[in-house]
Homo-oligomer: A and B are copies of this chain.
Amino acid sequence: MRTGKACVGFKTFQSGTPTLNSKPNTMFNLDSLCFFKTNLQSAIIILHPVSTVTGTISSYSITMLKVPEHQVAGRQAIDGKLGPLIDNSGHFYKPLQDDDERGTRELTFYHSFSSNTRIPHHIRRFFPVFHGTQLLKASDGSGLRPHLVLQDITSDHLNPSILDIKIGSRTWYLEASNDYIQNCFHRDKTTTTVSLGFRICGLQIYNESGFWKPGRKLVRNFTADDVRSVLRKFVSSNVGPEPDCCFADSVYGGCDGILERLLELKTWFEDQTMYHFRSCSVLLLFDKESFLRGKTPFAEVKLIDFAHVVDGNGVIDHNFLGGLCSFIKFVSQVLADSKGSTMEDKF
């Protein structure tokens, strides 16, 4: 039996409609294509044709793509817009953007990085696994579009707290268009990018009452003090005005903690002159439930968004490195303060 893949249709669902008359992974004929009841806002059906020995397609199995539940920044595949999708097998499908050639650039980066033998194993772990590209009907209804197939970083976690931090005091680069440079220049000055060397682009923090997920405008106006506050809340059991930082030591500290991972990255950035990561984010993930159940990893550090990676030309990425060092200092201070307050609590 030969198998193949075919991307057939895109349809936006409203919760509860249309009528349920099939289930995921049901085998069915193309003629009887139908949709099933779902509680997702939107979904893409991929039909995998199942052929007979004579090559005739007898039936299809389906894969359902949905809007990532835990996406905290970037364009979202909602309201007819172009955005990434995920499946239930741990894949993240990111549409290649065609404005400013950023799509091509991200794909080029993944190809280069995947085959680059000079990337140490412990550094490769910081990057989502790349599974190639796949043609899918885009979530904005614009037709077939190539998507990067990447590791879905959140797939192993039920309620992950996530911080998306765009690193660097400058998001533009000399090779970009003048309009792009001016837009970035303005945005960098009016956020913490210039002052702190990084900015939080999005976040969600899980607590007993659900996720705290401030809106984009609020996040964009974050000050240095807001950043400190977010870093405290990220490792607290509460997100009120006085976060308890009770997970700080476990999540930020220790030899498996986020701080140690960031320092590993820093060491690599002090040396590597292959890539310059403009507008790239460090994603911090912490899953309280995994932690409380003793599951590992309960905290992760990943790099994401490589649409603006340019050739390093033999120079280190001083922009990323400087911003990363600044962010490390912020995390260190939260960790030190939390230890200080724990000590105070004890005496």
Is A189's CB within 8 Å of the partner chain B? yes
Query: In chain A between 106 and 142, which residues have their CB closer than 8 angstroms to a CB of chain B?
Result: none
Is A49's CB within 8 Å of the partner chain B? no
Contact B197 A174 (CB under 8 A): no
Contact B316 A325 (CB under 8 A): yes
Is A314's CB within 8 Å of the partner chain B? yes
Query: In chain A between 262 and 289, which residues have their CB closer than 8 angstroms to a CB of chain B?
Result: 270-271, 273
Known contacts A169-B170, A270-B329, A329-B271; is-contact A315 B196 (Cβ 8 Å): yes
Stoichiometry, copies per complex: 2
Q: How far is the CA of A329 from the CA of B316 in the complex (A)?
A: 7
Chain B residues contacting A326 (CB-CB under 8 Å) are 315-316, 318
Is A319's CB within 8 Å of the partner chain B? yes
Known contacts A185-B185, A189-B174, A273-B329; is-contact A314 B194 (Cβ 8 Å): no
Mask: chain A, 182-195; 1 = CB below 8 Å from B; 0 = not: 00010001000011
Q: How far is the CA of A271 from the CA of B323 in the complex (A)?
A: 13
Nearest B residue (CB) for A266: B270
Mask: chain A, 311-327; 1 = CB below 8 Å from B; 0 = not: 00111101101110110
Interchain Cβ contacts under 8 Å between A and B, 22 examples: A169-B169, A169-B170, A169-B322, A170-B194, A174-B194, A174-B195, A195-B313, A195-B315, A196-B315, A196-B318, A197-B316, A197-B318, A224-B313, A224-B314, A224-B315, A270-B325, A271-B329, A273-B329, A316-B325, A318-B322, A318-B323, A322-B323
